[in-house]
Amino acid sequence: HSAQQGRMLCAPRVWSDPGGPRVLRTMGILTLVLCGCSGQPASLPWDLPAISSWEHQGGLVFIHTESSLYSLPCSPIEMEVADPTYRWVQDRAAPRLFSVTKEGHLLFQHFQAGDSGKYSCTISYMKHRIPVSQTFHYSIFGYHVLGGLDTVLLFHSKLCEDEWTKRFLWGLQDKLRQVEIEQHCKLQLTATFCFPSLNNPSDEFIIQVHLEVSLFGPHWDEHCNSQDTETVTDCYRKTVQHNLGQVQLTLTRFFKEHKSFHVTGADIPSINFTNEFVGFLKTEQCSGGYGQTKQLQRCLDCCIVCPPGMFSPPKNGQCSPCPVGTYSLTYGVALCTPCKDGMITRVPGASSMMDCVKKERTKQAVSIVHRIPVLLLIILPALLATNFLFILSSCYWFYREYQISSPRASKTTESITRMETVTSFFRIPRQGPQAGPDAGPASDTSHLDTSASQGGDEEHIHGAASPAVTSNLATVTDETTPVLTLEDRKDTF
C-alpha cells in the first residue's frame, strides 16, 4: 500500500499534450527524474494521462444587426464541471469589456457591424486536482434581412437658403423621433434639393427631402428573441414585412397632421415650409458595409457584414476589396481609409495600416517591366541579334553588287580581259621603245587592239598602244617563246 502511495505521489496525473501548458509538462518530467533518483517506481512519459488543454473551432456565428439581446454560450455543448471560470477575448487591438453571465454566456445588446470579429472563450476547471482548460474559437458576423423604405417629401417655401433649410430639417428630424420610438425604426435625412417652383418661379421654391427608413431600430425584434437560431431568421423576415406597412401608415398620418413647419429667425419673423407630397418606395438593398456573400445557408439572400480589407457603399450589394492605396481595419466599412501622403499599398484588399508603404521612385518603371511578359524578355535579345546580322549581310551584298555593276569598273575589266586573250593568242613578242623596219606585226597588233576596244576604253589612240597596254604586253610575252612567222600564222588559220 505504501509502495502504491509512493507511486501515486511520484506519478501525478499530468496531461502532457503538446498544445497544453508548458509548466505542467515540465513538472511531470521533473517528477519522473526525482522519482527515478529516489528509487521509487515511476510511470514513463508515454504512460501519462492524455490532455490538460483542448482547442476547439466553434465555427461561424451570425448575429442580426440591432439584435436586442443575443446570448452566445462559451461551449456549444452542455458541460457539467465543478466551479468553472470563463474568460472571453477578442482579436482586436483596443481592449473591450464584455457582459458575461455566470453560466459563461457572452451577451450582445444592439449588435453593430463593428462587433463582428474573432472571439475566444476559455473555460477552466479542476479535474482530479489537475487544472484543465478548454478553449473555443468563434468567428462572429453581423447580418440583416432585406427590407426598407425610401421616402420623398416635397415642401413649398419662400426662401431657398442653406441656413433656413438646415433649421427646417433640424425641426423636422426632432418631430420624427416620436415615430422612431413608436415603430422601432430609424429615420435618416439623406439628401436635400432646392429649385424654383413651376407655378411661381420668382417668388416660390420647392424643397425636396429624401428620408431613408431603416426597420432595425431599438427593440425591433423583441418578440423574436425566444426563437431558435434555425427559425429566428423567418421571424425576422415576418417582422420586417409587418413593420414596413406600419411605418408607411404612420408617416402618412404624421405628415397629414404636420402640414406646415414654421422656422423663425432674427432677420425674418417666420418662414413656412408647407408639405405638398409624400411618396414611398419599398427597397430590398444592403446597408453600407454589408454584401450578399451567401455564407448564411438559412438565408441566402441576407446581407453579410464585409470583413477587414473589404468595403461596400450603401445600396451596393457586394463586398469589394479596398483599392490600392486604401485599407479597412474593421468589419462593416462603407468606404476604405486612404493611406497617408506618399504611402501606398502594394495590392488591393489591405486590412492593416502597416500595409501602407512608401511610394518607390521607380514605381512607374517597375510597373512597366512587370507588364512585359517573361517570354518576350527572353526572345527579345535573339530577335535583336538576328536583325543586326541581317543588316550586316544586306550591306555586304549591296557593296558587292555595287562594285560589279559600276560602269567604269566593268569597262576596264572587259578591256583588260580582251587584251590578255589577244596577246596570248598571237604570242606577241616584247619590243623595245624604238620600232625598226620589221615592226609590221606590231602595227597589225595595234590595229587589232584598236578594233577590239571599239566602244570600250576611250584612252586608246589609233595606230599606237597606250603605255598601260604596252606594259601589259611586255609582261605577258616571254623572250624564250618562239615567234610566229607569216607561214605559221597561215597554218594556224
Q: Please tell me the predicted confidence (pLDDT) of residue 471.
A: 39
Q: Grid coordinates representing 371?
A: 507588364
- Digit-coded pLDDT (tens) for 256-306: 999 999 888 777 678 889 999 999 999 999 999 999 988 898 899 999 999
Q: Please tell me the predicted confidence (pLDDT) of residue 396.
A: 78
Q: Please tell me the predicted confidence (pLDDT) of residue 402.
A: 67
Q: First and final CA of the chain: distance in angstroms? A: 149
Q: Cα–Cα distance between 138 and 206 in angstroms, integer?
A: 53
Q: Please tell me the predicted confidence (pLDDT) of residue 116.
A: 94
Give SS3 for 321: strand
Under a CB-based contact definition with an 8 Å cutoff, are residues 236 and 117 in contact? no
Question: How is the chain split into domains, by residue range?
Answer: 52-142, 148-283
Q: Cα–Cα distance between 452 and 445 in angstroms, integer?
A: 10
- Digit-coded pLDDT (tens) for 23-82: 344 444 334 333 444 444 443 343 334 458 888 888 899 999 999 889 999 988 888 888
Q: Cα–Cα distance between 170 and 277 in angstroms, integer?
A: 19
Parts of the chain with a pLDDT under 70: 1-51, 93-95, 268, 361-375, 402-493
Cα 218–chain centre separation: 38
Q: Please tell me the predicted confidence (pLDDT) of residue 38.
A: 42
What torsion, rounded to 10 degrees, do the Cα atoms 66, 69, 70, 73 define?
160
Amino acid occupying residue 130: I
Q: What is the pTM of this model?
A: 0.61
Q: Grid coordinates representing 430?
A: 616584247
Residues 6+ apart with CB under 8 A from 262: 270, 271, 272, 273
The count of C-alpha atoms lying within 13 angstroms of the C-alpha of 441, restricted to the half-sphere facing its C-beta, is: 13
Q: Please tell me the predicted confidence (pLDDT) of residue 372.
A: 59
Q: Please tell me the predicted confidence (pLDDT) of residue 415.
A: 55
Class of the domain covering 52-142 = mainly beta
DSSP state string for 100-165: E-TT-PEEESS--GGG-EEEEEEEEEEETTEEEEEEEEEEEEEEE-S-EEEEEEEEEES---HHHH
Q: Please tell me the predicted confidence (pLDDT) of residue 52.
A: 80
DSSP state string for 386-416: HHHHHHHHHHHHHHHHHHHT-HHHHHHHHHH
For residue 353, CA distances in Å to 249, 313, 330, 358 come to 47, 21, 11, 12
Q: Grid coordinates representing 235?
A: 421571424
